Amino acid sequence: MKPKISRRTFLKTTLGTILATGLPVFSLPHALSKQKRTVREFRFSASKARVNLGIGPDFVAWTYNGEIPGPEVRVREGEIIRVVLKNYLPEGTTIHWHGVPVPVAMDGVPEVTQKAVMPGQTFVYEFEARPAGSYIYHSHVNYQLDQGLYGALIIEPAHQQDRYDREYTLLLEDWVMRDGGGVANTRRRPPMGMMMHGMRRRRRSSGPSRGPLLEPVYDGYAVNGRVYPEVKPLMVGKGDRVKLRILNASSATIYDLCLAGHTLTITHVDGNPIQPVETDVLRIGMGERYDVEFVANNPGTWLLAARERGFGEGALRIPIQYRGVRRKEPVPPIFHRGLRFATYWDFQTLHPSDKSVSEPAHRFYPQTLSGGMHSPFWTINGQVYPNAERLVVREGERVRIGYLNHSMMPHPMHLHGHFFKVVNPSLSPERWILKDTIIVNPMQRIEIEFLADNPGNWFHHCHNLYHMEAGMANVVVYQPE
């Protein structure tokens, strides 16, 4: 059941529980055995449930514990997360801990790291919560992510810095408000190429399609399971420093967000601290997470809202309400030219490593992203997963991947099991930011580099669920010495 308490109360309660039970709120040295660590156990039942986004019809979604989104998992760095997953769904399922460099057996990718947990079965995920940051968990089977199987995973730092007065988690979701979520009985977006040629008409699909699905036309852009105006306002007090953890759990929607009346300061990208950067517009792709802060210095009722980019995502709106200020129609942001729009190239890591790497990487894998125009498939180097070349690495190597997006759509590329550095030629390497998901825009080239320090087979794919399922994926494999 969804607790009928505010986020703030919930936060307090969670922390209160830790304190009240006398569990350590500091992290233990890495070398200590698991038995000495605090184990935080969560029970997840994956099942269908009737849900409602606050407006619109009731419909049947696929859920954890009957809730959308799934329960927020909030732990402290160094604790052990144990999630007991029981599958009451009609098909196999898994949980992937998006962004967390877990041991490979816990990574939750069917056929790559584990067998899907079949109906009636139970599987126990257990791993160390590290490093601190904002993450998403989600099913990695078929289209289950778009049917509701996801939630927020927050790992708080072992030593709380407490630079802010309030904190909110905002999980961004795109929904089709029909039984089965995005994949059943829905209309499909025409491919971008067709749109570009003036075919904006939306077609109705008939019956189960053969081959990969096109993206649905979403009719609900929700925040924490609610659609505006039913989104719970973020309450702030004048003078508060407010932290927002913005997590994009959508299957196929990139948002440009802007907060009316305030400036956002980006402090973390995909959980990793950066030198704070001020921006008016924040672009967030599927699978990306941004921690931002703002100072509540402009009393009133405001909207944090998405720019309309053609599919209705402008409906994503979150009210900000000052305490003690009479509630009125919230003021929306105006997306005029001249707004500051921070990009990856404006960011540098908060903790530059001291040794700068000058030698070239041990491996280079060019990855041309393509497809979509006249084909139902999305490809890497012309290949459709699972018929895709594997990226072979050895432990200890530095591996560089060079993306070239040769298509008309942006692709948020995600690597499992590792953070990668985003190669930024105008910065020295020790200042490059760490991420695990990166948007590659049409016709753009981006290079990333990671240290092969987590042996296993790791999925690497576009985080547009419909592109991933249509082939835009491959696997990084570690070769034994």
What CA–CA distances, in Å, run from 471 to 141, 380, 383, 384, 474? 14, 8, 7, 4, 8
Binding mask 285-314 for ligand C2O (x = CB under 6 A): --x---------------------------
Q: What, of Cu ion, ligand C2O, none, does residue 459 touch, CB below 5 to 8 Å by kind?
A: ligand C2O
The region of 72-80, 125-133, 302-310, 457-465 touching ligand C2O under the rule CB under 6 A is 457-465
178 binds Cu ion, rule: CB under 5 A:
no
* Distance separating alpha carbons of residues 187 and 206, to the nearest angstrom: 9
The region of 155-163, 262-270, 309-317, 456-464 touching ligand C2O under the rule CB under 6 A is 456-464
Q: What, of ligand C2O, Cu ion, none, does residue 411 touch, CB below 5 to 8 Å by kind?
A: Cu ion
> What residues pair up with 393 in beta bridges, in sequence order?
478
Q: The tokens of 18 are what?
A: 């830790």
Tell me the HSE value of 346 on the side-chain side, using a 13 A CA sphere.
14
Q: What, of ligand C2O, Cu ion, none, does residue 462 touch, CB below 5 to 8 Å by kind?
A: Cu ion
Q: What, of ligand C2O, Cu ion, none, does residue 467 touch, CB below 5 to 8 Å by kind?
A: Cu ion
Buried b (16+ CB within 10 A) or exposed e, 267-285: bbbbbbbbeebebbbbbbb
Q: What, of ligand C2O, Cu ion, none, does residue 98 touch, CB below 5 to 8 Å by kind?
A: ligand C2O
* Distance separating alpha carbons of residues 36 and 54, to the nearest angstrom: 43
**Contact assessment for residue 89 and residue 45, using Cβ atoms and an 8 Å cutoff:** no
Q: What, of Cu ion, ligand C2O, none, does residue 414 touch, CB below 5 to 8 Å by kind?
A: ligand C2O
**Contact assessment for residue 29 and residue 128, using Cβ atoms and an 8 Å cutoff:** no
464 binds Cu ion, rule: CB under 5 A:
yes
96 binds ligand C2O, rule: CB under 6 A:
yes
* Distance separating alpha carbons of residues 432 and 426, to the nearest angstrom: 10
What CA–CA distances, in Å, run from 236 to 72, 242, 292? 21, 8, 15
Q: Across 68-161, where does the E strand assignment appear?
A: 73-76, 80-87, 96-98, 122-128, 133-138, 150-156
61 binds Cu ion, rule: CB under 5 A:
no
Smallest separation (angstroms) from ligand C2O to the CB of 473: 8
**Contact assessment for residue 477 and residue 461, using Cβ atoms and an 8 Å cutoff:** no
Q: What, of Cu ion, ligand C2O, none, does residue 245 touch, CB below 5 to 8 Å by kind?
A: none
76 binds ligand C2O, rule: CB under 6 A:
no
435 binds ligand C2O, rule: CB under 6 A:
no
**Contact assessment for residue 108 and residue 136, using Cβ atoms and an 8 Å cutoff:** no
Q: Which of 373, 403, 400 is nearest to 470 (CA)?
A: 373
189 binds Cu ion, rule: CB under 5 A:
no
378 binds ligand C2O, rule: CB under 6 A:
no
Contacting Cu ion (CB under 5 A), which of 467, 471, 473, 474?
A: 467
CB-based closest residue to ligand C2O: 98
What CA–CA distances, in Å, run from 107 to 72, 132, 154, 378? 18, 18, 17, 24
* Distance separating alpha carbons of residues 373 and 406, to the nearest angstrom: 11
Place of tokens 């988690």: 169
Binding mask 393-422 for ligand C2O (x = CB under 6 A): ---------------------x-x------
Complex with ligand C2O: residue 459 or 466, whichever CB lies closer: 459
DSSP secondary structure letter of residue 213: P
Q: The tokens of 318 are what?
A: 């979150």
407 binds Cu ion, rule: CB under 5 A:
no
The region of 70-78, 310-318, 366-374, 458-466 touching ligand C2O under the rule CB under 6 A is 458-466
Complex with ligand C2O: residue 248 or 407, whichever CB lies closer: 248
Complex with ligand C2O: residue 76 or 461, whichever CB lies closer: 461
467 binds ligand C2O, rule: CB under 6 A:
no
* Distance separating alpha carbons of residues 301 and 287, to the nearest angstrom: 29
459 binds ligand C2O, rule: CB under 6 A:
yes
Q: The tokens of 288 are what?
A: 């990306």
Phi and psi angles of residue 146, each rounded to the nearest 5 degrees, phi first: -80, -5
Contacting Cu ion (CB under 5 A), which of 61, 102, 242, 462?
A: 462
SS3 assignment, position 369:
strand
Q: How big is the site for Cu ion, counted in residues (CB under 5 A)? A: 4
Smallest separation (angstroms) from ligand C2O to the CB of 107: 9
> What residues pair up with 172 in beta bridges, in sequence order?
223, 248
136-155 residues near ligand C2O, rule: CB under 6 A:
138, 140
| Binding stretches for Cu ion (CB under 5 A) | 411, 462, 464, 467
| Binding stretches for ligand C2O (CB under 6 A) | 96, 98, 138, 140, 287, 414, 416, 459, 461, 463
